[in-house]
Amino acid sequence: MLSDIKLKMSSSPHIRSKTTSANIMLMVTIALLPAAAFGVYNFKLPALIMLISTTVSAVLTEYIYQKLMHKKITVNDFSAVVTGLLLGLNMPASAPWWMGALGSVFGILVVKQLFGGLGQNFMNPALGARCFLLISFTGQMTNFIYDGVSGPTPLALLKSGESVDTMSMLIGTIPGTIGETSVFAIIIGAIFLILMGVIDLRIPGTYIAVFAVFVGIFGHFQNPDIGFFDPQYITAHLCGGGIMLGAWFMATDYVTSPITKTGQLVYGALLGILTGLFRLFGGSAEGVSYAIIISNLLVPLIERVTLPKPFGKGGEK
């Protein structure tokens, strides 16, 4: 009888999951579509051209690089699509399309592939590319045209002490980059990601909470007319600029965020403080991109500090 029992011997991993990089990246792409669709509705044809330009050139760059270097072609894992789409959502619609394409090439080639491809990049490729463009073409990258008029973003107005319309910031009918204006569209995508289990609340939750507290306290120091924890002021800061897009879609990038649970809280808090610092006391009105890439660089350090002790080790000294 004993010979009937078939015992399979195999090495680890014994528990398998159907989750793959391609699955996750596809879901992130789907989650970005509401924001992209609203961006195209809001900024019309130029926004569509920009999104196509960044996405196509990101995928093409990855394909050509891997082909030339005789590496495994991994374009069908959608990670380049996500990078391209995120960069497109971070561009003003008025910028020329080739600028987005150049950013995609930089993000994929220099930030991602030269460091070893997916999983090895030390900072978010889309944000690396955006900062590259922001430094290179400051004029065009901060020229926001809405309804044919070039005007300041609500954040810039907020910084100079003027009042803003919070409702239109929630819906997104304001000047800004293609994907950052509509809080509603971003939240729809974020809820989808949370329901599908792709992201959890730890990083974005801490980020937004710490940022709100920071703005609540230090908004008063930056502009004495605003009281401590002025709800209108905090809401305007949360709905304006790239914090929603950054918190839900870019700070949560698996590769460039900590894997330890405590580490994720530290990372979120760091993001909140840095963003608040840059927005309130920095030279420009927006600081989400720089806050995220600086925190990306600190991730290895955060992970080292928050490494959990293996079971049975530590305890009494």
Partner 1 sequence: MNGCTERVYNGLIKENPTFVLMLGMCPTLAVTTSAINGVGMGLSTTVVLVLSNMLISMLRKIIPDSVRMPAFIVVVASFVTIVQFLLEGFVPSLYASLGLYIPLIVVNCIILGRAESYASKNPVVLSIFDGIGMGLGFTVGLTAIGLVRELIGSGKVFGFQLLPLADVASGQAGYVPVTIFILAPGAFLVLAGLTALQNKVKLNAAKKGKKVTEAAGCGEGCASCGGCSGKVFPTGNEKE
Confirm or reject binding of residue 102 to partner 1 (CB under 8 A).
Answer: yes
Name which position in 132, 218, 229, 254 contacts partner 1 (CB under 8 A): 132
Shortest reach from residue 2's CB to partner 1, in Å:
35
Nearer to partner 1, 73 or 114 (CB): 114
Helix, strand, coil: what percent of the chain each, to 5?
Answer: 65, 0, 35
CA–CA dist 258, 42 (Å, integer): 35
Contact 176, 194 (CB under 8 A): no
Shortest reach from residue 137's CB to partner 1, in Å:
7
Q: Tell me the DSSP string of 55-77.
A: HHHHHHHHHHHHHHTTPPP-GGG
Stretch that binds partner 1, among 133-141, 184-192, 213-221, 245-253 (CB under 8 A): 133-141
Nearer to partner 1, 30 or 145 (CB): 145
Which tokens is 190 given?
Answer: 């974020």
CA–CA dist 95, 142 (Å, integer): 9
Shortest reach from residue 32's CB to partner 1, in Å:
27
Name which position in 41, 63, 122, 137 contacts partner 1 (CB under 8 A): 137
Q: Tell me the DSSP string of 115-167.
A: GTSTTT-SS-HHHHHHHHHHHHTHHHHT--EETTEE---HHHHHHTT----HH
Provide the mask over 187-226, with x wherever binding to partner 1 is found by CB under 8 A and - wherever it is not: ----------------------------------------
Shortest reach from residue 101's CB to partner 1, in Å:
13
Confirm or reject binding of residue 136 to partner 1 (CB under 8 A).
Answer: yes
Confirm or reject binding of residue 110 to partner 1 (CB under 8 A).
Answer: yes
Any residues with CB less than 8 A from the CB of 298 and at least 6 apart, and which?
267, 270
- In the complex, the residues that contact partner 1 under the rule CB under 8 A are 102, 110, 132, 135-139
